[in-house]
């Protein structure tokens, strides 16, 4: 019962929080509007991302880009489903990590289907010298989930490694 609880709860929480924060941004901000929260470091900025992470393929031909960004998350969900199925029942961290990645993929897929783009709004920058590409809650969940998977995989291999002679 541990694995499904962490997996499905992570998915639901990510989707709900992601869509709620995007709804707030769309309803309170004009496109391109920015609200500085920490001077010269962090702002909320309403951005529309037609590409992937960091705007990858944003300028690609829409006849390629649109189907690509609808198919890739679905394929990823199938792969994540197989990874989830093969987890042991007590693998709560890996179950949660797969849930975070799945919830993030679903959250961004909802935007692409509903709006034709992904709403990004978390805008980190250093003065006006460096801007990290804007992102959202779904993107954050995907990154955190992948990080947890990498860490748990690393720890698991270290604890199961045979001693060297």
Catalytic residue among 18, 111, 123, 139: 139
Tokens, residue 111? 């935007």
Distances (CA, A) of 95 to 34, 89, 160: 36, 9, 19
Nearest-angstrom CA–CA distance, 77 and 164: 38
Hey, what are 18's tokens?
């992601």
Annotated catalytic residue within 18, 111, 120, 123: 120
Token pair, residue 127, equals: 């003065």
Q: Which residue has the tokens 């920490």?
A: 38
Q: Is 123 a catalytic residue?
A: no
Answer yes or no: 111 catalytic.
Answer: no
The catalytic site residues sit at 120, 139
């Amino acid at each position: 019962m541990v694995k499904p609880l962490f997996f499905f709860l992570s998915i639901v929480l990510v989707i709900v929080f992601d869509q709620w924060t995007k709804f707030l941004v769309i309803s309170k901000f004009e496109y391109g509007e920015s609200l500085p929260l920490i001077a010269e470091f962090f702002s909320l900025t309403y951005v529309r991302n037609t590409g992937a992470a960091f705007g990858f393929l944003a300028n690609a031909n829409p006849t390629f880009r649109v189907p690509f960004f609808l198919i890739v998350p679905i394929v990823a969900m199938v792969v994540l489903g197989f990874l989830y199925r093969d987890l042991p029942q007590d693998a709560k961290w890996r179950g949660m990590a797969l849930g975070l990645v799945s919830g993030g993929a679903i959250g961004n897929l909802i935007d692409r289907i509903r709006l034709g783009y992904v709403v990004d709004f978390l805008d980190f920058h250093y003065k006006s010298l460096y801007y990290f590409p804007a992102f959202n809650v779904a993107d954050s969940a995907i990154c955190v989930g992948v990080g947890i998977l990498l860490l748990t995989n690393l720890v698991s291999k270290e604890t199961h490694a045979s001693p060297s002679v």
